[in-house]
Structure 1
């Protein structure tokens, strides 16, 4: 299975997030899956990639070539796909992935997540989306979703995503799909 990870590339985040991402990467490789991600070498992306690499797993990085001016890219990817733009990157993530895991992150992660969920809602894909809610990171977003449902701006969002608070819960979802 090709598992796409969206998550922070910041080297400044708390270890609780990178430790969980590292464990995720270890299990991705141990279970013979492939990590598809933005190719970063820091933060959640880098920690997950390191877990994959240390367990002899396969990595597919996808990024515009110019992103290296902003982020350090992983030099040890099994394959690195360069694209022209961030839009083409998101399209390539959709093409190359079987499932999406949304880990904690900033604006870029939210952009990727919301585009992926909108396309699922509009039936442009039917791939699983799992929110990796490390240390309750997304709880306020879930409250916002509930408020949107109460005010009738959002309907049936429960079927669009699954929420996992641990790496083990992620793999319970993956193995039951």
Structure 2
């Protein structure tokens, strides 16, 4: 399975987050899955990729070449896909992924999350989406989404995502979703 990780590339992230991202990367490799990510070498992306690579796993980095002006790119990727724009990047994430994990991140991560969840709602894909709510990072956003639903702004006929607080829970959701499809 190709597992796409959305997450920050910031170097300022507390170790509680990057340690968990590294653990997730190790589990992706140990379960013979492949990481698909934005190709960054730092932050959540870099920590997860390092966990994958340190455990003999494979990864696909996807980024415009100019992103290197803002953050260093991972040199250890098994494959790297260069695109021209952030829109093309998100399309390549979708084209190359079987599941999506939304780890803690900033504006770019939120953009990716809301697009992938909207596309699922519009039935453009049926991949599992898991919000990686490390240390309650996404509690406020989840509360906002619940309030939007309660006030009638959303049509939540079905569950569009799952929530996990650690790497073990992510794999419980992925395995459960895989069992449901068989």
TM tier, shorter chain? over 0.9
- Whole-angstrom CA distance in 1 between matches of 2:29 and 2:136: 25
- Residue 96 of structure 1 is matched in structure 2 by 96
- Whole-angstrom CA distance in 2 between matches of 1:123 and 1:146: 21
- Residue 46 of structure 1 is matched in structure 2 by 46
**Structure 1 residues 17 and 71, CA, compared in 2 at 3 Å: closer, same or farther?**
same
- Residue 146 of structure 1 is matched in structure 2 by 146
SS at match of 1:9: coil
- Whole-angstrom CA distance in 2 between matches of 1:100 and 1:157: 20
> After superposition, where does 1:19-168 map in structure 2 within 5 Å?
19-156=19-156, 159-168=159-168
* Runs of 5+ consecutive residues of structure 1 not aligned to the other structure: none
- Whole-angstrom CA distance in 1 between matches of 2:139 and 2:158: 15
- Whole-angstrom CA distance in 1 between matches of 2:149 and 2:46: 35
Runs of 4+ in 1 over 6 A off after TM superposition: none
Aligned length: 177
- Whole-angstrom CA distance in 2 between matches of 1:158 and 1:13: 33
* Runs of 5+ consecutive residues of structure 2 not aligned to the other structure: 178-182
The Cα offsets for residues 55-87 of structure 1, whole Å up to 9 and x where unpaired, read as 000010000011011110001100000001000
TM-score (norm 1): 0.98
- Residue 174 of structure 1 is matched in structure 2 by 174
The Cα offsets for residues 117-167 of structure 1, whole Å up to 9 and x where unpaired, read as 000001111111000000000000111011111110012176100001111
